[in-house]
Amino acid sequence: MCAATTTRGETHHVHHDGDGRLSETLRAAVADLTDTAPADLPPLDARINVSALDDLWNVEASDRPTAGCLTFTYGGYVVVVRSTGAVLLREATAET
């Protein structure tokens, strides 16, 4: 699902390599960062349309966006998903 998770300062970088759904890569990354089982995380579909997320960033789709990003909060993190498959996670603060 994800190639690697590394910590660079306070931003965590994950790359969705196209193996599986982006939403699953995202859930796994947040679960890892919070030391929580994915099933114990809040429902992702309460924050975002999961089907649309997976469809927009399906790296194998010929009609996927070539540029763009999507930002939302989930599981205590601000999530930025780039059209390249990069997922950036930063712990949410009171201001975010």
Using one digit for the tens of pLDDT, what is the confidence trace for 7-25?
544 888 888 777 788 899 8
Which amino acid makes up residue 30?
V
Tokens read off for 38 = 């994915």
Host domain of residue 36: 2-91
96 belongs to a structural domain = no
7 belongs to a structural domain = yes
What pLDDT score does 62 carry? Answer: 67
62 belongs to a structural domain = yes
Tokens read off for 35 = 């030391």
Which pLDDT band, with edges at 50, 70 and 90, does 32 fall under? very high
pTM strictly above 0.85: no
Q: Please give the order of strands across the beta sheet that includes 2-8.
A: 2-8, 11-16, 86-91, 77-82, 69-74
* pLDDT 10s digits, 54-77: 877 665 666 666 677 889 999 999
Domain count, the chain: 1
